[in-house]
Structure 1
Amino acid sequence: MAATKNKSKVEKTIVLSIMLIGGILVSIPFIWMISSSFKPESEVLAIPPTIIPDNPTIENYINLFTNMNFAVYLRNTIIIVLFSFLGLLFNAMAGYGFAKYDFNGKEKLFYVVLATMMIPGQVTMIPVYLILNYMGLTNTMAGIILPGLAVAFSIFLFRQFMTTIPNDLLEAARLDGAGEFFIFFRLVMPIAKPIFAVQGILTFIAGWNSFLWPLIIANDESLYTLSVGLSLLQGQYANNYALQMAGAAFMVVPIIIIFAFFQKYIVEGFTMSGLK
């Protein structure tokens, strides 16, 4: 027994050591990015390198908002994120409809939704662009937002979760005189909090990182997002690494914080939705 316990402790120690070393290696680029964002430009490439800045400064972050249009980029990104949450509500309604309503062609329509998940987004960009151009929505915020309101994967995930809600519960609410919207907002949504949490996190990350579509659809710099602004920063200030690190940190740190606090909901949401 003692030998078995000692062997188990050794195995745990080895596994923990490997995980610790792996975690440190993965964290080094992020630590270097955040550290460099507070360094003067002359210190970023100093030899030997410094992890903790000798002369810390927030001048790089100030320059992002004074010399660059990061305030505009941040505003546009927040607008996209907020409307993405509106699309999340529509996706939840669609998932609820597929899960709890019976109508002609329900299964076929759902298979069509699933089939769109197999099509790479790059394939549909040109047709979507042509449609929006015909509608006069290119180079507008509406043109950036509209294509992202309906997400097949989100509909699928909501549908998978909402099939687990007992039909008897919904029928009891209808017998008590509750309307369909009342049932959805006051009964279904509270039950579906786990899946709303995970989808909310994924929606925020997708909206915050939006890059390719805003770059394609918008010609006016006043419509650019943070990701597009960061790419412009790398082009215009290619030799100012401190400023680039500040822009990257400003872009990445909010996502890291949100993911660190809510990662358990992502695992729970996928598990409760039947995805293993």
Structure 2
Amino acid sequence: MPTPLSVNARSPLLAQADRMGALDREVERLGRQIALGERFTTPSEDPAAANRAAQLLRLDSRLEADQRSLTRAEGRLALAETAVGTASSALLRARELALMAASDTLTPQDRQVIAREVEVLRTQLLDAANARDESGLHLFAGARNGQPAYVQLPDGGIEWQGFDRAAGAEAAGIGRTASPPGPLLFGAGDGSAFAVLGDLAEALAESDQALRQTQMVSVLSGLERATDRLLDGQSRIGAGRARIGDEADRLAEARLQTAEALSAAKGLDMTAAITRLDALKTTLEAAQASFAHIYDGTLFDRIG
């Protein structure tokens, strides 16, 4: 039976037990750090590093939000580029038809067939002008993008009803990246691409050859201006996509640097940590063996 032992607050037995408890807690703490790969598991373990890590995490959240804004802006511009390309193709076909219709050899029936295709092209042009993004917002309506950019009036005319201010990726710090508003691409009023196609339809219905020829000259001039507008718009959109690409690269680099800084703030030197853990375990095992040998039993045996 173990020899009775007097224990008080100054007893070496309690001091040894406290030391083993501290070693055991340190082994457990270091084990958690190794499992997570982080220098601290609670802010109290390293307040300065924890505060730095929190700042870096907030910065990374802002950068991530900016990246999402840029991705949305890039998607809108890509859709706008496709729509403008469709509109350009429609106008090029309209020019071909206008040149064909200017020939003296066409019969009224031939011109009627051409007129029907022109009407189809006008519908295609309107669809392109009212193209939407993945959220259902109209690309060319400016800030008033919850409604179509262009609307067909009862008299057959087509009118722009957007608001001449584009909503871009300002949240990401990028200006001039939104799709150009409708008037810069498709025009407005009597000089719009829609009006020119309307003039082409009227010229095709004109029976007087001389008057029809005069109208065709005006139509071809209008189609050229309308096509130039779209080409200029494509250049604007391409420049916007390039700016977004540059900014996306900058943000990606900033996030990489932030991740590296966060790793430095929270990261754990695994080799040093494992070496220290092994040393602590050895020390704890030695302390436990010494405790058992010297006191011939556990503390609870002694005081039980």
TM-score bin (small chain) = under 0.3
Q: Which has the higher helix share?
A: 1
